[in-house]
Amino acid sequence: MASGQRVSSFNARRVRNDIPQLTRQVHGRTITYLDSGASSLQPRAVIDAMSTYYRLRHANVHRGVYQTANEATEAYEDARAAVGRFIGAPAPADEIVFTKNTTESINLIAKVWGSANLGPGDTVLVTEMEHHANIVPWFQLREATGVDVRFIPVGDDYRLDLTNLDELLRGVKLVSVTGMSNVLGTKNNVRQLADAAHGVGALIAVDGAQSVSHGPVDVTNLDIDFLAFSGHKMLGPTGIGVLWTRQSVLDPMGPFLGGGGMIADVRLDGFTPAKGVARFEAGTPPIAEAVGLHAAVRYLEGLGMDNVAAHERSLTEDALTRLEEAFDERIRVIGPPTVIDRGGVISLDVEGVHPHDVAQVLDEFGVCVRPGHHCAKPLMRRFHLAATARASFGPYSLSDDTTVLIEALEHALKMFG
Amino acid sequence: MSNLEDLYREIILDHYRSPRNRGELATPPAHKVEGFNPLCGDEVTVYLDVEDGVLKDIKMTGHGCSISQSSSSLMSAAVKGKSLDDVQETITTFKELMTASGASADEETGAKNLRSLGELAALAGVVKFPVRIKCATLAWNTLQQGLTEISA
């Protein structure tokens, strides 16, 4: 991570000025964007990089010999290496597979590594706080191979209950866990889980959709085997996701989808898959999106991920304090009450007001939050909730956003009270 | 806040806070039918007691947002005691109200429809919030399904 060596140049107001969408007016008010957990907004640097690519440099990759085709290939492969360096990959250019999103990355693990390595008698250990993207692929694998799927429970403190971890790890071949809950904001101790998984000879996959964009993530320090994340949650474009896999695990893995670009040879009697990461990237890849993601990585490195984490921690602390002061028990935060091992995702249960109605009233104030089950229905059931209204921060968020949020929540309570 | 007041009329908030015809009916003789909105988790269960072509009684349970819950309550009040033909007509009129074409129908028909709907007309503002239309129609689709099952 480059952030450690950099002199802090972080200034949230300057970041905000880099995001064109944050100047938008909605219902006569400037937008208050508190939905970065669902998707982040893009700085001009990302939009401009993609625009320049389409205006001057577009060509398909890995095929042509002409100048712009070379440039496009170089840009695409540069992005791969940059993303690898960003997460501390030991072999950045050889361990990063570009996918569509985090969901596809986890599906790739399940469908390629899982179906080759897991079967009846084996267990995948996930947690009760996972997004459906880290549950359903394992259930599908269970249907296909007979592997068992087991859950680490979540305690009343909104954290993983690791009391019976040794027992839960029995027969486990893969632990697949989120770095940070998209509902609770809880950050899991990934290194501890990695050590526990490796202790029983299992591998560990991390859903980094929330964690990679909000603080430093280093796969070497965490000692994990797979990391899945999305471009659009880290200031980059939609349509591109990332799967990092430790090279020793990646090398024996078979191909994913079949088609052009993933083969070494095709004959009338069969095919030979390509070597390297190409065998997981059939068809024309998201080239412009890779260029945009590269720009997002550069932008985040410029901010420094430690600075981003510190900024969001102080915003979260400020918001938790002010929400409690303003609403006491009328609004309950579904997640850890302090900022220790906690990110900037604040799920709200507003007394007497359904989350959809909360979000509707907030929209009238230009405030963007997300109502619903956040694709984590097992977790919602665990806390007897059908839905919450979730506010989430990004590097461009300011304490002013919380002020508008509180004003709008007061209106919602008054309306429905 | 004019938009919001259009959506959350006082009648809607009143039915949300004090829903009418809340509860269950013994099945049989009553017919039970469930409706779900998988995207937002809203649920409604409708109990229908039909005798001699008349909807003698209706009760409902469920949970969800103010629009889905008040729409169920308003619906139950509007159809209880009506002949099945009249119930069907009310369903049709309400669902027209919830489509863009219903909202932009010629003024005379529109005004007549609104009058015939009585308190239900309070839900007319929902059509301006496309995401919420499915909240308002959940109970109605469930009722429709129940009537279809009864006549089958």
Judge whether residue B111 has pLDDT over 90: no
Superfamily name with CATH number, domain A10-39+305-416: Aspartate Aminotransferase, domain 1 (3.90.1150.10)
pLDDT-flagged residues of chain A (< 70): 1-9
pLDDT in the model for residue A102: 98
The CB density around residue A56, as the number of other CB atoms within 10 Å, is 9
Chain B neighbors of A416, CB-CB under 8 A = 13, 16, 66
Cβ-nearest to B65 among A27, A357, A373: A357
- For residue A358, the chain B residue with the least C-alpha distance is B65
- What pLDDT shows up at residue B124? 86
pLDDT of residue A24: 97
Please name the member of A353, A364, A386 whose beta carbon is closest to the beta carbon of B4: A364
Q: Which residue of B1, B2, B3, B4 to mutate against A (max A Cβ within 10 Å)?
A: B4
Task: Report pLDDT digits (tens) over A88-101.
Answer: 999 999 999 999 99
Range B133-148 average pLDDT: 94
Check residue B130 and give its pLDDT.
86
Residue with tokens 């002061």: A325
Domains in chain B with CATH codes: 2-151 (3.90.1010.10)
Which pLDDT does position A9 carry in this prediction?
Answer: 67
Judging by beta carbons within 10 Å of its beta carbon (0-12, 13-18, 19+), is residue A23 exposed, middle or buried? Answer: exposed
What ipTM, to 2 d.p.? 0.85
pTM: 0.93
Provide the terminal-to-terminal Cα distance of chain B, rounded to the nearest Å: 46
Name the band, by pLDDT with cuts 50, 70 and 90, for residue B100: low
Query: Looking at CA atoms only, how far is residue A333 from chain B in angstroms?
Result: 19
Q: Which A-chain residues 187-246 have CB contacts (< 8 A) with chain B?
A: none
Is B8 within 8 Å of A27 when comparing Cβ atoms? no
What are the pLDDT digits (tens) for A112-147?
A: 999 999 999 999 999 999 999 999 999 999 999 999
For strands A148-152 and A123-127, give the pairing. Answer: parallel
Q: Classify residue A358 by burial, with Cβ atoms within 10 Å: 0-12, 13-18, 19+.
A: buried
Q: Is A355 on the interface with B (CB under 8 A)?
A: yes
pLDDT at residue number A64: 84
pLDDT category at B109 given cuts 50, 70, 90 is low
- Say if CB B120 and CB B75 are below 8 A apart: yes
**Alpha carbon distance A410, A364 (integer Å):** 13
Every domain range in chain A assigned CATH 3.40.640.10: 47-302
Q: Rounded to whole angstroms, how far apart are CA atoms B105 and B127?
A: 13
Q: B50: closest CA among B71, B63, B32, B69? A: B32
Nearest residue in B to A363, CA atom: B4
Most distant pair of Cα atoms in chain A: their distance: 71
A84 closest CA partner among A248, A239, A244: A244
Among A353, A356, A361, beta carbon nearest to B4: A361
Q: Name the band, by pLDDT with cuts 50, 70 and 90, for residue B119.
A: confident
The answer, yes or no, to whether the previous bond of B28 is cis (omega within 30 of 0) is yes
pLDDT in tens, B65-94: 999 999 999 999 999 999 999 999 999 999
What is the structure's pLDDT at B101?
56
- Fold of the domain spanning A47-302: Aspartate Aminotransferase; domain 2 (3.40.640)
Q: How high is the pLDDT of residue A5? A: 46
Rama region for B51: left / alpha / beta (φ>0; ψ in -120 to 50; rest): beta
What whole-number distance in Å separates Cα of residue A113 and Cα of residue A250?
9
Q: Find out whether A177 and A127 touch, Cβ atoms under 8 Å.
A: yes
Question: How close, in Å, is residue A48 to chain B by CA atoms?
Answer: 32
Q: How many CB atoms lie within 10 A of CB A240?
A: 26
CB contact under 8 A, B7 and A387: no
Q: Where, residue-wise, is CATH 3.90.1150.10 in chain A?
A: 10-39+305-416
In whole numbers, what is the pLDDT of chain B averaged over residues?
Answer: 87
∠ Cα A215 A217 A219 (to 5°): 175
Residue A6 pLDDT:
46
Q: What is the pLDDT of residue B42?
A: 86
Enter the tokens of residue A196: 């526990």
